[in-house]
Amino acid sequence: MPEKTSPSSQRLPGKQLLMIGLAATAAALAATLLARLVVGLFVPLNPLFPPFSYGSIAFFTVLFCLVGVGIFALVNRLARNPLRTFNIIAVIGFFVTLLPDLAGMANPAAFPYPGASASSFVILILFHIVAAIAFLWVLNNLARRA
């Protein structure tokens, strides 16, 4: 009797993985830029703090999401259960990306950013959360439907 595979245990073809990864990256970018816009309406964001610029947010969101897509492609080739394995790696990676912001929150003067404050780093953590949720939600939903 053939063994049933769950959607999370199937490997994705390269082109499909790329399209899913790009869709997840676009979702994370849109969500993060929207979060920046909404936060900026309610909280005065220091314009001298470079990570608050739309360009910085877009660049780093796309960069780290594409790194995530590359890792997903590698995991897709090597792991028995690619989606589950990637999600574990992504959650660990998410917490690693929070370390500089947590350090900045604890001691903003240690960072070379003008206008840095503890609250600035809290807001950056919020942007990390938004990007991670959007990226993983879209990636997981599309990969399971594939």
Task: Give me the residue spans of the domains in the chain.
Answer: 12-145
Q: Work out the pLDDT band at 115, boundaries 50, 70, 90.
A: confident
pLDDT in tens, 49-104: 999 999 999 999 999 999 999 999 999 999 999 999 999 999 999 999 999 999 99
C-alpha dihedral sign at 130, 131, 135, 136: negative
pLDDT of amino acid 5: 54
Secondary structure class of 4 (helix, strand, coil): coil
pLDDT of amino acid 31: 98
Report whether pLDDT(1) > 80.
Answer: no
Q: Which of 18-32, 69-83, 101-115 has the least mean pLDDT?
A: 101-115
CA distance 111 to 81: 40
Q: Work out the pLDDT band at 8, boundaries 50, 70, 90.
A: low
Report whether pLDDT(6) > 70.
Answer: no
* Residues near 13 by beta carbon (within 8 Å), at least 6 away in sequence: none
CA distance 138 to 128: 16
- Give ∠ CA 100-104-109 in degrees, rounded to 5: 135
CA distance 93 to 89: 6
